[in-house]
Amino acid sequence: MASPGPMSRSRLRLAAVYLLVIGVILYGAGLGMFGLLMRSNWSALEREVETLAGTLHDSLKPLLPLEARPSTQLAAVLPGLCLVGDPCPLPPSLVPRHAVSITDPERFYLRLLDPRGVLIAHSPGSPTTKAERPGPAWSMVAGPGGERFLQYSIHLHRSHTPARAGADPTELNWGYLQIGRSLRGLDAERERLWWTTQTIVVLALLVAGLASWWLSGLAMGPLLAAYRQQEQFTADAAHELRAPLANLLAVVEAHKSQLSADPMAGEQTLAVVYKQGQRLSRLITDLLLLARLEGPEAAAARQPCSLAQIVRDLLEETSEAASIAEVRLRLQGGDDNLNVLGVELELYRLVSNLLLNAIHYTLPGGEVVLSLRRDGSHGLLEVQDSGIGITAADQQRIFDRFFRSDPGRSRQQGGTGLGLSIVAAIVRRHRGAITVRSDGHSGSRFTVTLPLEASSQGLSASR
Ligand code: ADP
Q: Same structural domain for residues 450 and 303?
A: yes
Ligand 1 atom 11: residue of nearest CA: 404
Ligand 1 atom 14: residue of nearest CA: 404
pLDDT at 258: 67
CA of 308 to the centre of ligand 1 (A): 24
Q: Same structural domain for residues 304 and 429?
A: yes
Q: Which of 17-26, 116-125, 326-335 has the lowest mean pLDDT?
A: 116-125
Strand ranges for 346-457 from DSSP E? 367-375, 378-385, 433-438, 444-451
Residues 6 or more apart from 234 whose CB is under 8 A from it?
A: none
CA angle 294–299–304, rounded 5-degree value: 110
Residue 350 within a domain: yes
Q: Same structural domain for residues 311 and 173?
A: no
Q: Which of 33-42, 115-124, 352-361, 393-402 has the lowest mean pLDDT?
A: 115-124
Do the bridges between strand 82-83 and strand 108-113 make them parallel or antiparallel, or are there none, so unpaired? unpaired
Residue 279 within a domain: no
Phi-psi region at 93: left, alpha or beta (left = phi > 0; alpha = psi -120 to 50): beta
Give residue-wise pLDDT tens across range 245-270. 888 888 877 777 766 566 666 777 77
Indicate if ligand 1 lies below 6 Å from the C-beta of 405: yes
Q: How many domains is the chain built from?
A: 2
Residues 6 or more apart from 296 whose CB is under 8 A from it?
A: none
User: What band does 129 get if pLDDT is binned at 50, 70 and 90?
Assistant: low
Q: What dihedral angle (degrees, nearest 10) is formed by the CA atoms of 432, 379, 399, 347?
A: -90
Q: Same structural domain for residues 454 and 308?
A: yes
What is the percent of the chain where pLDDT is above 70? Answer: 86
Residue 423 within a domain: yes
Of residues 27 and 123, which shows the higher confidence score? 27
Indicate if ligand 1 lies below 6 Å from the C-beta of 391: no
Residue 244 within a domain: no
Ligand 1 atom 4: residue of nearest CA: 415
How far is the C-alpha of 319 from the C-alpha of 322, rounded, in Å? Answer: 5
Indicate if ligand 1 lies below 6 Å from the C-beta of 276: no
Do the bridges between strand 367-375 and strand 328-333 make them parallel or antiparallel, or are there none, so unpaired? parallel
Residue 451 within a domain: yes
Q: Same structural domain for residues 325 and 455?
A: yes
Residue 1 within a domain: no
Q: Same structural domain for residues 174 and 311?
A: no
Ligand 1 atom closest to the Cα of residue 389 is: 25
Indicate if ligand 1 lies below 6 Å from the C-beta of 366: no
Instruction: Return the best residue to mutate from 362, 404, 444 for the ligand 1 pocket (most ligand atoms within 8 A of CB).
Output: 404
Indicate if ligand 1 lies below 6 Å from the C-beta of 379: no
CA of 398 to the centre of ligand 1 (A): 7
pLDDT at 299: 67
CA of 403 to the centre of ligand 1 (A): 8
Q: Which of 58-62, 350-354, 387-391 has the lowest mean pLDDT?
A: 58-62
pTM: 0.60
Strand ranges for 220-338 from DSSP E? 303-306, 328-333
DSSP string, 189-220: HHHHHHHHHHHHHHHHHHHHHHHHHHHHHHHH
Indicate if ligand 1 lies below 6 Å from the C-beta of 419: yes
Tell me: pLDDT of 105 over 70.
no
- Quickly count: other Cβ atoms within 10 Å of residue 351's Cβ: 23
How far is the C-alpha of 331 from the C-alpha of 316, rounded, in Å? Answer: 11
Classify residue 118 by its DSSP letter: B
In contact, 139 and 181? CB cutoff 8 Å: no
CA of 153 to the centre of ligand 1 (A): 96
How far is the C-alpha of 407 from the C-alpha of 216, rounded, in Å? Answer: 39
Give residue-wise pLDDT tens across range 183-241. 988 999 999 999 999 999 999 999 999 999 999 999 888 888 888 888 888 888 888 88
Tell me: pLDDT of 166 over 70.
no
In contact, 418 and 344? CB cutoff 8 Å: no
Q: Which of 76-85, 150-159, 211-220, 421-430 has the lowest mean pLDDT?
A: 76-85
* CB hemisphere CA count around 84 (13 angstroms): 17
Closest of 122, 193, 187 to residue 148, by C-alpha: 187
Closest of 402, 317, 395, 328 to residue 358, by C-alpha: 328
Q: Which of 19-28, 62-71, 80-89, 215-224 has the lowest mean pLDDT?
A: 80-89
Quote the distance between the C-alpha of residue 14 and its chain's center: 10
Q: Same structural domain for residues 176 and 303?
A: no
In contact, 176 and 139? CB cutoff 8 Å: no
Determine the length of the chain: 463
CA-to-CA separations, 258 to 187, 254, 274, in angstroms, rounded: 101, 6, 18
How far is the C-alpha of 281 from the C-alpha of 241, rounded, in Å? Answer: 10
Closest of 402, 358, 361, 397 to residue 381, by C-alpha: 358
How far is the C-alpha of 189 from the C-alpha of 283, rounded, in Å? Answer: 76
* Mean local confidence (pLDDT), 45-73: 85
Cite the DSSP H helix spans in 61-183. 72-77, 99-102
CATH number at residue 346: 3.30.565.10
Ligand 1 atom closest to the Cα of residue 446 is: 23
Q: Same structural domain for residues 176 and 319?
A: no
Residue 61 within a domain: no
pLDDT at 131: 47
Quote the distance between the C-alpha of residue 428 and its chain's center: 27
Residue 75 within a domain: yes
Ligand 1 atom closest to the Cα of residue 443 is: 24
Closest of 306, 287, 258, 292 to residue 453, by C-alpha: 306
Ligand 1 atom 3: residue of nearest CA: 417
Residue 107 belongs to domain spanning: 69-86+95-126+134-160+169-182
Q: What is the CA radius of gyration of the chain?
A: 48
Closest of 137, 173, 179 to residue 157, by C-alpha: 173
CA of 246 to the centre of ligand 1 (A): 24
Of residues 352 and 226, which shows the higher confidence score? 352
Indicate if ligand 1 lies below 6 Å from the C-beta of 387: yes
CA of 385 to the centre of ligand 1 (A): 12
